[in-house]
Structure 1
Amino acid sequence: MVLISLVATHSELDLETVGTLSSGAAELAGSVHMPAVTLATCNRMEIYAESTGSSHDDVQTTREQLLDVVAETSGLDRELVGRSFRTLVEDDAVSHLFEVGAGLDSAVIGEREIAGQVRKSLADAQHAGTISGNLTKLFETASRTAKDVGTRTALGSRGRSIVSVALDIAGDMRGDGAAFYPGAKVVLIGTGAYSGTSLAQLVERGVTDIGVFSGSGRAEDFVAERAGGARALQMQELPAAFREADLIIGCSGGNRRITAREVENLAGLTGSSPRVKPLTVVDLALSHDFDPDVAELDGVDLITLESVKMAAPGETEDSVQEARDVVASAVQTYLTERRERSADDAIVALRRHTQELLDEEMNKIRKQHGCTGAAEEVEFAVRRIVRKMLHTPTVRAREMAAEGRTEDYVRALQDLHGIEVPVRAETARAAPAKRRRAEDFSAAELAQMASYLTKVPAGGFCQHHRPGEFAIERIDAVRGLQIRRAG
């Protein structure tokens, strides 16, 4: 299996295109016949998948399949989709995901929300059944690394996020800064991840009047599950809430945008008694909850993700480097362990090959000498020799895997011993060995067993051991033949 990642982010594309690419993210992974995880956030669309082959052609085939599905689910031109994504393979894909989870590739450097989105992407893939053991390990380790950055570095301790920066901008635009929030009235649209973060940030800043509206009807459950005293808004309550609001935050990401005319009417910007206090609108939805022309309304300030991206504060070089060191160490540890795991199949193949040779030789000894004490001593001695012979090749296999040279070891096995290391199927599970039933034995086998058992003392295991030393269940069919032969 080869890890492949398709990446489209805010650093190469406008957020409108990223949002469109992400529109079918929920259905994407389940539409391809391969292990895959989709990471879609407000400023990125990424797909992590496993190619079934390691050749360049195999990787390209996997890439083309993923791009086809993105084009189909997003409705964008296939050529545009192909240009929008860059492709990362193996170690590069691993490093990128770890940096993303740590907030080092975000519009707001060091943002903490992305770590939760990485965890959610893994959970969604597990729920959809599109995950594999390798991808699970990858995303779990990336999440742990993000937590380490958050607890061990100055970058993580700042706790910045897209939401916090947007709220900082809103406070500054109103001229009051942090003092704006304790007395502000806020309407929150949507019940997704950003809505939860926004609600928590508003409560932390002292806001006590928060109304939550959801077109999907989830507002009541949303506020019931969270502290902060927010209230759910019904559709008929929206005009009054808009008219009284100082701040409206859109986080729904629905298919319908609120137009400037609707904001004008709902917020009471016109009419016989128009509102006099200013209104700030924050649009955190990737697909936009508000039309851009809302910014043209008198008395209305519009803050978008693009605004946040441009206004995001820079981080000190020392803080970023500190976080990058944590990530680099985690990446190296993960890759080393992954390479060592890749040597397991080669080690198993070598052990199986050696054991088959041993079994073959011991069968020859048994045929010549029967089940004798001497034969058992020979077997024990040979097995000790085999274990010693395999020790150094096993250690060397893991050392070469850690150096990224597993393929060299596999080729050596093939060249020196003619051992073929099978390709492991991720989802395949070895069936447990089945015990043979009486009807599974041929008549000749049963007769041979019965003949042998006539020479075994009653209650014994074989003719060379005393009764009571071993106990074994006899096949009824063999017992019957034994009785008839004895008679």
Structure 2
Amino acid sequence: MATYSFVASHRIIDLTTVALLSNGAAGIPELFRTETAQNLGVTGTIVLATCNRLEIYVQLSVAEHLGPVSDMLYAEIAQKSELDAELIADSFEIYENLEAAKHLFTVASGLESAVVGEREIAGQVRRALAYAQEEGAVPGELVQLFEHAAHTARQVGQHTTIGSQGRSIVSVALDLADAVAEKDWKTRRALVFGTGAYAGATIAALRERGCEDIWVNSRSGRAPEFAAKRDVRAVPKGETYKAMEQADVIVGCSGGSDPLSPAEIPPGHHTILDLALSRDFDPAIADLPQVELITLESVRLAAPEETEEAVATAERIVESETQAFAARQKTRNIDSAIVALRSHTMEVLDEELDKVRSQFGCTAATEQLELAMRRMVKSLLHTPTIRAKQLATQGRTSDYIAALETLYGITIDDR
């Protein structure tokens, strides 16, 4: 069994391409549940999509089928996004097994974020796992991978100053807005597009700065319920233009498929923060008079850097947790090997006991013989079991598994 991560992020491609890839990847979980994918050995997948990255984690029982599975993934995204398949393939980096784990731990800790140390990503990693579990069964290996990523993020948060200032994409964007928006936060009216977790985080960040006049707009019709839970106001249906007209700061968090054009923006002074992965606003609105447009690219360029010492400490924690995860996986492998050896031995024993019963019947002597043989087998398995655990602690699980295959023909996946 092998785990692969397909990673497209702001580090190697522009954010517009990330958004297009993410839109095209919406059907990947369903695709990988089809009979075709299962025949290729796909046993599970988790998709992590944020404002600056798309990561697809795939568990594959047949490593040799990585090529066909990759082609299937790229073709699906190409069909839905209308991007060229070759461009899509070039946009992804592929990590395998322990490399995939280390990468995810690094991402969850905020070390790969546009704003290093941002806290939002750890929650996004947890939600990616939860969403995958809601959609269907997720293999234990992927669950353990994502749970350990969340654990690593907590360790980095507890033992370093990374993220201690509460920096996030939203907070940096609001800092930029402070430099150009009129009034102060107590007297500004904020309009938030969207009703997802990102919009919720934005409302919390606005409140932290003293903003009290917050409105929520949603094309899906969920604004009233969303607003009521957060004690903010919902824009009535059909009054989006009026709401924008009265807003000082407008924050896009919805990622709608139809961005607002310059003609749809009311005249007057507006500071617009477009923080959605798929733009809520056409970039051309930046050319409108009295409009200041702040985008994810603006945030990336303005993001403050963490100290080298804090980053180095965080990286050491990630490396340590990666090795701990690897050791835990090896222990699970050795446990599987022990179970396989016991099952093989007991199967042989049961076959021989069946022969004894068929020849001599279920007599008292037969029962005594069975007890003696089971004690003998248990005794014979004791030393191999102890040695298995000793070898696992020495990092020699592969040696033990190879010996089982050579001596007994028992095959255990050691990846």
For normalisation by structure 1, the TM-score amounts to: 0.77
Q: CA deviation at 1:189?
A: 1.2
Residues 70 and 344 of structure 1: is their aligned pair in 2 closer, same or farther, counting only changes over 3 Å? Answer: farther
Counterpart contact for 2:252–2:273, Cα < 8 Å: yes
Q: CA deviation at 1:369?
A: 6.1
Corresponding residue for residue 12 of structure 1? 12
Q: Which amino acid aligns with 1:328?
A: E
Residues 151 and 423 of structure 1: is their aligned pair in 2 closer, same or farther, counting only changes over 3 Å? Answer: closer
- Deviation sequence 1:205-250 (CA, Å, 0-9, x none): 1111111111111111111122xx3210024433333222211111
Corresponding residue for residue 165 of structure 2? 158
Corresponding residue for residue 354 of structure 1? 345
Kindly report which structure 2 residues correspond to 1:201-220, keeping only aligned pairs within 5 A, or say none: 201-220=205-224
Corresponding residue for residue 99 of structure 2? 92
Q: Which amino acid aligns with 2:262?
A: A
Aligned mate of 2:411, from 421, 445, 456: 421
Corresponding residue for residue 438 of structure 1? none
Residues 416 and 175 of structure 1: is their aligned pair in 2 closer, same or farther, counting only changes over 3 Å? Answer: same
Mapped partners of 1:290, 1:368: distance in 2 = 84
SS of 1:104 mapped into structure 2: coil
Q: Does 1:200 align with 2:204?
A: yes
Counterpart contact for 1:103–1:114, Cα < 8 Å: yes
Q: Does 1:325 align with 2:316?
A: yes
Q: CA deviation at 1:301?
A: 1.2
Q: Which amino acid aligns with 1:105?
A: E
Q: CA deviation at 1:402?
A: 5.5
Residues 301 and 412 of structure 1: is their aligned pair in 2 closer, same or farther, counting only changes over 3 Å? Answer: same
Q: Point out the structure with max Rg over C-alpha.
A: 1
For normalisation by structure 2, the TM-score amounts to: 0.90
Counterpart contact for 1:29–1:130, Cα < 8 Å: no
Q: CA deviation at 1:378?
A: 4.4
* Aligned length, in residue pairs: 405
Mapped partners of 2:333, 2:404: distance in 1 = 15
Q: CA deviation at 1:361?
A: 4.7
Mapped partners of 2:316, 2:406: distance in 1 = 41
Mapped partners of 1:209, 1:280: distance in 2 = 15
Counterpart contact for 2:24–2:78, Cα < 8 Å: no
Kindly report which structure 2 residues correspond to 1:376-455, keeping only aligned pairs within 5 A, or say none: 376-401=367-392, 405-417=396-408, 419-421=409-411
Mapped partners of 1:142, 1:422: distance in 2 = 26
Corresponding residue for residue 255 of structure 1? 257
Q: Which amino acid aligns with 1:420?
A: I
State which drifts further: 314-323 or 124-133.
Answer: 124-133
- Deviation sequence 1:43-100 (CA, Å, 0-9, x none): 001100011213xx32223322222222223221111111110110000001111111
**More contact order relative to length (CA 8 Å, sep ≥ 6):** 2
Q: Which amino acid aligns with 1:282?
A: L
Mapped partners of 2:45, 2:115: distance in 1 = 27
Q: CA deviation at 1:151?
A: 3.2
Q: Which amino acid aligns with 2:99?
A: D
Counterpart contact for 1:37–1:130, Cα < 8 Å: no
Q: Does 1:36 align with 2:45?
A: yes
Mapped partners of 1:13, 1:410: distance in 2 = 42
Q: CA deviation at 1:364?
A: 5.6
Which segments of 5 or more consecutive residues in structure 1 lack a partner in the other structure? Answer: 270-277, 425-487
SS of 1:146 mapped into structure 2: helix
Corresponding residue for residue 280 of structure 2? 289
SS of 2:239 mapped into structure 1: helix
Using the aligned pairs only, state the percent identity: 47
Q: Which amino acid aligns with 2:5?
A: S
Mapped partners of 1:261, 1:402: distance in 2 = 66
Mapped partners of 2:105, 2:323: distance in 1 = 11
- Deviation sequence 1:147-196 (CA, Å, 0-9, x none): 332333211422211001100111123487xxx21111111111122211
Corresponding residue for residue 58 of structure 2? 49
Aligned mate of 1:334, from 315, 321, 325: 325
Kindly report which structure 2 residues correspond to 1:60-99, keeping only aligned pairs within 5 A, or say none: 60-99=67-106
Corresponding residue for residue 228 of structure 2? 224
Q: CA deviation at 1:136?
A: 1.4
SS of 1:336 mapped into structure 2: helix
Residues 111 and 375 of structure 1: is their aligned pair in 2 closer, same or farther, counting only changes over 3 Å? Answer: same
Q: CA deviation at 1:319?
A: 1.5
Mapped partners of 1:369, 1:189: distance in 2 = 81
RMSD: 2.3
Kindly report which structure 2 residues correspond to 1:120-269, keeping only aligned pairs within 5 A, or say none: 120-129=127-136, 131-174=138-181, 180-226=184-230, 229-263=231-265, 266=266, 268-269=267-268
SS of 1:255 mapped into structure 2: coil
